[in-house]
Amino acid sequence: MKPAPFYLAGALAPLVFLASVIYGAARRAGYSHLADPVSLLGMAGAADAGMINALWVVSGLLIILLGAGFWLDQAGPGRWTATWVMLAGAGSAAIAFWFPMDPPGAPLSRSQIGHNALVAVAGLSFALALITAAYAAAPPRAFRRFSWIALAAMVAGGAGAALSAAMGWPLVGLFERVTQAGYHSWLLVTAILGVTGWGAR
């Protein structure tokens, strides 16, 4: 089976996610891309939360398909990367489907516990996907370097979000988006490279 259709499907994942965030923020009065976490858009009671979570499930499933493309492609970043990407996609979809965020100030629920656990699993899986891709032998060197850059963005964004939350700075949303830009840009670039035969080497 050829990997190109899986790469084409995977290329849509970051675009679907981006569209969901733009749409959800437009539907929620007072929402701030700088201060508010992305998960707030899909919490119970949020405007069009069902639609937002459905789009996040679709995005997660498309990420799984991208991982399947890696699995099939001998010129790609390898099956370890494929495994971590598929796990990250599954975790992302599961968060939206089963474990939306609790409203701010609500007592800690099982849904929020599951949400927090799966966010950690998905984030770690994305990080391991980038690390294994950076060490893969088959893809071009420029792609391996880009994987390190994407990982650095993830780490910087995560650290910034944690620090902002601890210090009460209204920048959690900004730093979350730095993290998400890191791995979503990597997903899009890898999908495009996969479709084009990794630069037609």
Task: Quick: pLDDT tens for 49-105.
Answer: 999 999 999 999 999 999 999 999 999 999 999 999 999 999 999 999 999 999 988
Here the tokens at position 52 are: 């937002």
| Cα–Cα distance, 101 to 41 (Å, whole number) | 9
Here the tokens at position 25 are: 């923020």
| Cα–Cα distance, 166 to 100 (Å, whole number) | 22
**Residue 201 burial class via C-beta count within 10 angstroms: exposed 0-12, middle 13-18, buried 19 and up:** exposed
For residue 89, which of 125, 53, 133 has the smallest C-alpha distance? 125
Q: Assess whether pLDDT exceeds 70 at residue 29.
A: yes
Predicted TM-score (pTM) of the model is 0.96
Q: What does the buried/exposed string (b/e) look like for 158-197 if buried means 16 or more CB atoms within 10 Å of the residue's CB? A: bebbeebeeeeeebbbbbbbbbbbbbbebbbbbbebbbee
